[in-house]
Amino acid sequence: MTDHIYAAEHPETTHVRPGGFTLWFTGLSGSGKTTIAHLVGPELDRRGLVVEYLDGDNVRMHLSKGLGFSKEDRDTHIERVGWVASRLTRQGGAVITAAISPYAETRQQARDWVEPVGTFVEVYVKASVDECARRDVKGLYEKAFKGEIKEFTGVSDPYEEPTNPELVVDTEEHSAEECAALVFAKLEELGLVPAEVAA
Ligand code: ADP
């Protein structure tokens, strides 16, 4: 058991399957992370990659169940997502994460876990608080503005914009399909997508 834990913490001692990457979407609630993730993922799947999604909302129902929205809990949640992403990346997977991940330091931690075993592609899904509130997909902004939800990212809690992401997609400028195409093009540019096999 201890050996297994040791191996997990020391990826250089274990086999790394090539080609793995983590596509890390970050941005405000309602900015479009999940929507874009589920446009990109099926195409990667079609190209033969093993795709796994780690959506923040879903992870909070399982792996991060019971965690709240304090800085400490958010960091723990994102560290869990990052750590699992790195394990799947090590196995050659195409991991797609969609979590707000508001703190730069924790995103860097995820990158530091992934990069020894694969490629980390940080995509800032950009939309203003005003636009996200206008969309208010989950009805959360209205509650946050009324003060019914505390520690709401972009309203009463910080969001640290990425300073050096691999890609920024502005979801106010481009449609979801256009954003997905930009993400896909970036993955191709980085050599992460196998060529289409002729039928
Ligand atoms: P998040 O995962 O970031 O919380 P969601 O993907 O759940 O956000 O919701 C984003 C909402 O914004 C969806 O209702 C989607 O249809 C809408 N939307 C409008 N324009 C875009 C765009 N360019 N990219 C992604 N989503 C968009």
- How many whole angstroms separate alpha carbon 153 and alpha carbon 137? 15
Catalytic annotation present for 128: no
Domain of residue 180, residue span: 3-189
Is position 118 within any domain? yes
- How many whole angstroms separate alpha carbon 148 and alpha carbon 41? 35
> How high does pLDDT run on average in the chain?
94
Task: Supply the pLDDT for residue 15.
Answer: 86
Is position 194 within any domain? no
Task: Supply the pLDDT for residue 196.
Answer: 80
Number of residues written out for the chain: 199
Number of domains in the chain: 1
Is position 195 within any domain? no
pLDDT mean over 50-72: 97
Tell me, in angstroms, the distance from the centre of ligand 1 to residue 117's CA.
30
Task: Supply the pLDDT for residue 3.
Answer: 54
* Residues pairing with 29 in the sheet: none
Is position 196 within any domain? no
Which residues have C-beta atoms less than 6 Å from ligand 1?
27, 29-36, 98, 125, 135, 137, 171, 174-176, 179
Is position 151 within any domain? yes
Task: Using the predicted structure, report yes or no on whether residue 84 has a pLDDT greater than 80.
Answer: yes
Is position 182 within any domain? yes
pLDDT mean over 64-85: 98
Query: In terms of pTM, does the model score above 0.85?
Result: yes
CB atoms within 10 A of CB 134: 12
Task: Supply the pLDDT for residue 195.
Answer: 85
pLDDT mean over 129-148: 97
Q: Please provide residue 10's backbone torsions phi and psi, each rounded to the nearest 5 degrees.
A: -130, 75
Task: Using the predicted structure, report yes or no on whether residue 1 has a pLDDT greater than 50.
Answer: no
**In contact, 120 and 165? CB cutoff 8 Å:** no
Q: What is the pLDDT of residues 158-192, one digit of tens each?
A: 999 999 999 999 999 999 999 999 999 999 999 99
Domain of 123, CATH number, reads 3.40.50.300
Is position 198 within any domain? no
Is position 117 within any domain? yes
